Structure 1
Amino acid sequence: MVRFRDDDLMSNIVDREMDKRTMLTAFFERNRIDETARVYLYKYFPKHFTWNGSTRRWNPRGRKNQRGRIVSANPAEGERYYLRLLLSNVRGPTSFEHLCTVNGQRCETFRKAALELGLIEDDEYLSQCLEEASTFQFPNALRRLFATIMIFCQPGDIRKLWNDQFESLSEDHRLHCQSIERVQNMVLTEISVLLQSMGKNINEFDLPKITDDVNLQDAGYRELQEEYGIVLEPEHLSAKDSLNPDQKNVFDEIMMHVDNDLPGVLFIDGPGGTGKTFLYISLLTEIRSRGLIALATASSGAAANNMPRGRTAHSRFKIPLNLENNSMCNIKKQSGAAKLIRSAKIIIWDEASMAKRQAIEAVDRTFQDIIGVSLPFGGKIMVMGGDFRQVLPVIKRGTRAQIVDSSVRMSPLWSLTKKMRLTINMRALKDPWFSKFLLRVGDGTEEPIEGNYIRIPDDMTIQCNNRENAIKELIHAIFPSIEDNVYSSDYIISRAILSTKNESVDEINNQMIEIFQGEEKVYYSFDEAEDDQRNFYPVEFLNSLNVSGLAPHKLHLKIGCPIILLRNIDPSHSLCNGTRLICKGFMRNVIDAEIAVGQHAGKRVFFAKNPSNPF
């Protein structure tokens, strides 16, 4: 701290320096007098304006562009760091006061302003999330949200969060029960069941103990109760009557194994559109209607959602992420998952061609160990399906030999597997000509032109007269009259635009979001580098990274827009990687969404604002 007396000569020098324009204050002044300058962030300002050191002003730049950067600041520097954070995210500020004003309210510090904008993590945001959700949802939905927060948001003080939100979590039970202890036990019991469905135990968390003798479901039999409690859809019960001859032959073969209790491993091979999923649904419904357990799994969340009570194979069988040639699944012999496997009559694994052979072999070894039978998969009836023309196992930076080696075809189990093939029933397809063309391309029989090129037919292309409006024309062709159907879930999920690059996906998504009506809400992720004590990786650099498989730093949402879940939250209730949802509402710390596809379509769910956006 440096101090000067009022009569000191140095005080005049300090006043004179305070009146000088700096690059930052000149940036504010330029925004006040030039509306076109307000669209640029401070770090991009040198690209469009040039600094004149003599007049100390920003002037419009000519043709040549130039990159600029903001002076680095460490989080330990306090307000200077938060000022830098605001300048990296707020467009067009005209003064320090303007920079500190959020939603019409003046914040006392830069940190408070960054907090109100959601740029930094707030210790109280989880409590605020539950309070916001309680204004338009019932307590049972809040309890599911509370369980999700416990697992995925890593609250620092779960007991305090429980104490603060107990009244909202228990509102329905308190209407029918006067005993606070009994109400607490009922709430904890429901949360315990939800945690079990997500693979966790309530005893792992700092919550009050269940003191009363309540009817808490035994964790060892919960999985069995869930499978026995599946409600069969009427249209699924009649599915077997609509099978084509190929599907009917496969159906009868598998049911012969079920009726005669014959173990076996079967693989259903067929291109897309042959009705493999429809066949799975017929098998699952037929077996479950007899009071037996049939497990439905898939290598991807999207495929699992297409089957009733489908789960990803990694979730159902606890397959380790880092696989070795001798890996085992993380299933204990006395656990509920082990009892469920022993009780299952048949297990269906869709998109098995996408799974690594090490994963399938790990499941095989685990089943033999749990069941105590040395036959493949412990003597279970194992039905796998897939299409080797589609995506094979993904090996990061792998060679062709490594990809082939990881395929299920290279496993010793493949020689013990009975293969059944489905052919395309063209009458069942909406566009048989289109499917025939794709199959010819995939099989390599389509006649090339000019060497190795293939000409795409005119019926499969969209004519574009203006390259600058190409994306708009594409959106208009795929989503005609979207302005009149933005609130129709069926309209939104029945169409999709595919792209080969993430940059193109982001550009299309941004233009799609602009079409939707209503208020836009932006959620920010909180990116940080571990063990970066010297701030080698500034926050804005981490925020600028757009890594494949991770959500962007800024998540733009409007009511009615589709969103896709990027992580497994509760696979037993279709909240898994790849689940498509429709945004139905949002507040500062909570998102209200509706599941759009699968057996839980139409179900409303909550998502708390997460340090890493899950969408």
Structure 2
Amino acid sequence: MFIAWFRANRKYNEARQLTYTDFPRKFVWKSQLRVWEPRKAGTVIGRLFFVPPSSGELYYLRMLLNIVRGPRSFKDLRTYNNIIYSSYRDACYARGLLDDDQEYVDAIKEASYWGSGQYLWKLFATLLWSNSMIRPEVVWEKCWTLLSDRILHNHINMFNLPDLVMSDEELLQLTLIEIEEILNSNGKSLREFPTMPYPNIDGINLRRQDVLHNKLILDELNYDRVLLAEQHKQYLSQMTTEQRNVYDQVIEATNSDNGRIFFLYGYGSTGKIFLWRTLSAALRSKDEIVLTVASSGITSLLLLGGRTAHSRFAIPLIPDEFSTCNIKQGSPLAELISRTKLIIWDEAPMMNKFCFEALDRTMRDLLRHTNESSLILPFGGKTVVFGGDFRQILPVITKGSRQDIFSASINSSYVWVTVRY
């Protein structure tokens, strides 16, 4: 019936003076022939079914059908003053049938003086799903800088990077993501508004991953090199002959390509922490990365930049002989390990041997992408220094015998074969 209306407009001059709503007054629909023919008698009032504004283009098409006379094609419906518009909505706007949404632009600007970023995002999302705005993309173009005002501040706090800088495109994409999340919580999406841009979520996730990469690296390089160099000289002058011998071997190994695995055995107050500080100062003063971990949280507090081993390397809480660390290739932590020069692990005898084996397997797998020989080298070719005292607490095995505890210790692991002590 609708397509036949176009054909009737091409055929009858009288039809070109009527809108689609008025057409039944002068023409009658012949359903068998599927054509409109001039009416010979009777009076009929035409009407159109109601279409809600949320229907999008159908709503604007219905609006045009009430005023456009004699169109011969869909293109004619979208034409005004010899200009063919890309959508029925734009054609309605050109004919002055729609408001310019300036009141919503003014409302967002006014709210920006006192409202938080979260409030502005909710306001814009509400205007979207309520179909209050005629051209939401125009309001977005005029107001997105106001809507993105808190984005940079939030990410500075999130990543603890006071010097974080973002481009306009990144701010725009992140603002769209915030609005999309609010819409999703209400069963809506930006995809339902074709004229609105949709966020490049994959691109933003990559950018966030880059920021995390930089943060992890910066955290490990955020030391006063001049102060560390002075401390290094002071520590060297205080070393005993035995400590200096250990120091020289570890530093020599870090400068090699293949790395070495060491175990420093000593009971409490024999200077292990002092040696860890000396090694860390030596490398960090040269902008090298040193990861210092311990088996317990209390001991990790004694190490500069110390963390527990489980926290730093994402080791499973209950590892077994097949376990690996939860570190994905290309992740920020994988990049940090790749750039690490030395790993210091204090109180190693307290840990189950499967923890060391899980880290060994993980590091070999991570580092083989940059160096194929890493697959056959202990801990991927990185220099690792373990420390501790076997006379202190050994791995805790629930209801385990003495043999079970001994079997779970580091010196029962295949890793121990490569250790120098």
Alignment-mate amino acid for residue 418 of structure 1: R
The answer to whether residue 274 in structure 2 is matched with residue 278 in structure 1 is yes
Which structure has more relative contact order (CA 8 Å, sep 6+)? It is 1
What are the Cα deviations for residues 315-365 of structure 1, in whole angstroms up to 9, with x where unaligned?
111001121111000000110111111111111111111111000000000
Distance 1:406 1:304 in 2: 22
The structure 2 residue matched to 1:364, chosen from 360, 363, 368, is: 360
Distance 2:356 2:152 in 1: 40
Change (3 A) 1:287 1:209: farther
Q: SS of the residue aligned with 1:219?
A: helix
The structure 1 residue matched to 2:151, chosen from 185, 193, 197, is: 185
Match of 1:393 in 2: 395
The structure 2 residue matched to 1:316, chosen from 309, 312, 317, is: 312
Tell me, yes or no, if the aligned pair for 1:247 and 1:279 is still in contact at 8 Å.
yes
The structure 1 residue matched to 2:384, chosen from 367, 382, 385, is: 382
Match of 1:228 in 2: 221
Distance 1:361 1:225 in 2: 28
Tell me, yes or no, if the aligned pair for 1:220 and 1:334 is still in contact at 8 Å.
no
Tell me, yes or no, if the aligned pair for 2:265 and 2:387 is still in contact at 8 Å.
yes
Q: SS of the residue aligned with 2:211?
A: coil
Distance 2:329 2:363 in 1: 10
Tell me, yes or no, if the aligned pair for 1:355 and 1:392 is still in contact at 8 Å.
yes
1:192 positional shift: 2.8
Tell me, yes or no, if the aligned pair for 2:367 and 2:380 is still in contact at 8 Å.
yes
Alignment-mate amino acid for residue 226 of structure 1: D
The structure 1 residue matched to 2:288, chosen from 270, 275, 292, is: 292
- TM-score, L = length of structure 2: 0.51
The structure 1 residue matched to 2:406, chosen from 404, 407, 410, is: 404
Distance 1:339 1:380 in 2: 14
Alignment-mate amino acid for residue 325 of structure 1: E
Match of 2:336 in 1: 340
| Consecutive unaligned residues in structure 2, runs of 5 or more | 1-117, 123-144, 162-173, 182-198, 369-373
1:260 positional shift: 3.4
Match of 2:415 in 1: 413
Tell me, yes or no, if the aligned pair for 2:258 and 2:377 is still in contact at 8 Å.
no
Change (3 A) 1:183 1:209: farther
1:180 positional shift: 5.5
Distance 1:207 1:231 in 2: 38
Change (3 A) 1:412 1:188: same
The answer to whether residue 210 in structure 2 is matched with residue 244 in structure 1 is no
1:209 positional shift: 7.6
Alignment-mate amino acid for residue 219 of structure 1: L
1:240 positional shift: 2.3
Distance 2:386 2:147 in 1: 49
Change (3 A) 1:271 1:337: same
What are the Cα deviations for residues 440-499 of structure 1, in whole angstroms up to 9, with x where unaligned?
xxxxxxxxxxxxxxxxxxxxxxxxxxxxxxxxxxxxxxxxxxxxxxxxxxxxxxxxxxxx
Alignment-mate amino acid for residue 216 of structure 2: E
Alignment-mate amino acid for residue 229 of structure 1: N
The structure 2 residue matched to 1:306, chosen from 284, 302, 307, is: 302
Match of 1:6 in 2: none
RMSD: 3.0
Match of 1:255 in 2: 251
Alignment-mate amino acid for residue 271 of structure 1: Y
Distance 1:279 1:339 in 2: 27
Q: SS of the residue aligned with 1:391?
A: coil
| Consecutive unaligned residues in structure 1, runs of 5 or more | 1-158, 164-178, 196-202, 420-615
Q: SS of the residue aligned with 2:344?
A: strand
- Higher-Rg structure is 2
1:262 positional shift: 4.1
1:183 positional shift: 4.0
Q: SS of the residue aligned with 1:221?
A: helix
Higher helix share: 2
Distance 1:274 1:194 in 2: 37
1:491-530 map, 5 Å:
none
Tell me, yes or no, if the aligned pair for 2:257 and 2:381 is still in contact at 8 Å.
no
1:286 positional shift: 0.2
Q: SS of the residue aligned with 1:268?
A: strand
Change (3 A) 1:276 1:188: same
Match of 1:451 in 2: none
Q: SS of the residue aligned with 1:347?
A: strand
Identity value in percent: 35
What are the Cα deviations for residues 486-514 of structure 1, in whole angstroms up to 9, with x where unaligned?
xxxxxxxxxxxxxxxxxxxxxxxxxxxxx
